[in-house]
Structure 1
Amino acid sequence: MAAKCNIFLIGPMGAGKSTIGRQLAQLLNMDFFDSDQEIERRTGADISWVFDLEGEKGFREREKKIINELTKKQGIVLATGGGTIKLKETRNRLSARGVVVYLKTTIKKQMIRTQHDKKRPLLQIEKFTLKTLEDLANERNPLYEEIADITIHNEDQTAKIIANQILILLKKVNFN
């Protein structure tokens, strides 16, 4: 694989993409971006509001534009939203413009990490259950795996430990 100078973190909600991304960016002295935070900053509204007003399709269009713009930068760490990989065009951009790190976690850990989170639109549905996360995993996990250059399991380790593990793995894929 050719050397790449961006790192894109993908994975389900609650996998630790933002927390680990900040740690990784700090360790590498790189700029950090979070695609969801960028959407909120640019719209002046939280993700839930965008979802409510525009639906998931409208949100994914906004997300696609932000991802396209951010992935053109050089030397960044980008934490993506859990559903970012749903659009093939976005998957292709992530794959072509940086090293893609899939933070894999269990549904049980997702439940623990997200149970009190009021900002995640897909968790706000009235009948949210464990099955909701299972359905999302069945739909999305193959897409994460499809574009991942590195897969790392994030279970019970700190963000700093995971970030250091990623650094070791990045050296194996000739990351510059």
Structure 2
Amino acid sequence: MVEKQNIFLIGPMGAGKSTIGRQLAKFLHMKFYDSDLEIEKRTGADISWVFDVEGEKGFRLREEKILNELTQKKNIVLATGGGSILSECAQKYFITRGIVIYLKTTIENQLIRIPSDKKRPLLNTKKTQKDKKKILENLAYVRNPIYKNISDIIVDTTSKNPKILVVQIFKILKNFQK
């Protein structure tokens, strides 16, 4: 990676996009953004509340606007929301404005990483583990092919230390030409 390019991290909830993104940005001396945190900052409310008030469609429109703005910045690492790839516009932003890295993980790993996270509107805390697993399976069925299709690089984060993954991603990026 002779010249710094934007790096967009996509993948399901619990794949490590925010954790790895922060560390990768620091390692590469780039600025880090998290699209969900940007939405929360700008609305003054958490993602669950925005989902409740605006519905998923309203949330996705808001997310798309923020992604358009963030992906136009230079030399950033951006952790995206798991469903951001559902927008064809967002897909285009990612593909044309940076390197897209799909952080892949298993459903079992997701269930371990996000057992009682109240900020995940699609997995509210009242659901049983079995219900959550079914929801994650349905999301994976729809989203995984999109993640794979728009990514330049795929990294499996299942049961791996984020620091090791950052070094692994750095090595891949050193030899990557888009």
Which range, TM-score by smaller chain?
A: over 0.9
Judge conservation of contact 1:4–1:99 (CA < 8 Å) in 2: no
- Structure 1 match to 2:94: 94
TM-score norm. by structure 1 comes to: 0.95
Judge conservation of contact 1:4–1:97 (CA < 8 Å) in 2: no
- Structure 1 match to 2:140: 137
TM-score norm. by structure 2 comes to: 0.94
Distance 2:57 2:67 in 1: 15
5 Å-filtered alignment, 1:1-176, equals 5-124=5-124, 126-127=126-127, 128-174=131-177
1:21-67 deviation per Cα after TM superposition (whole angstroms, max 9, x unaligned)? 00100000000000000000000000000000000000000100000
Distance 2:126 2:58 in 1: 21
Distance 2:14 2:136 in 1: 11
Distance 1:158 1:15 in 2: 12
For the aligned residues, what is the CA RMSD?
A: 1.3
Runs of 4+ aligned residues of structure 1 deviating over 6 Å after TM superposition are: none
- Per-residue deviation, 1:171: 1.6
**Unpaired segments ≥5 residues, structure 2:** none
Amino acid of the structure 1 residue aligned with 2:94: L
**Unpaired segments ≥5 residues, structure 1:** none
Amino acid of the structure 2 residue aligned with 1:95: I
- Per-residue deviation, 1:124: 1.0
1:68-107 deviation per Cα after TM superposition (whole angstroms, max 9, x unaligned)? 0000000000000000000111101101000000000000
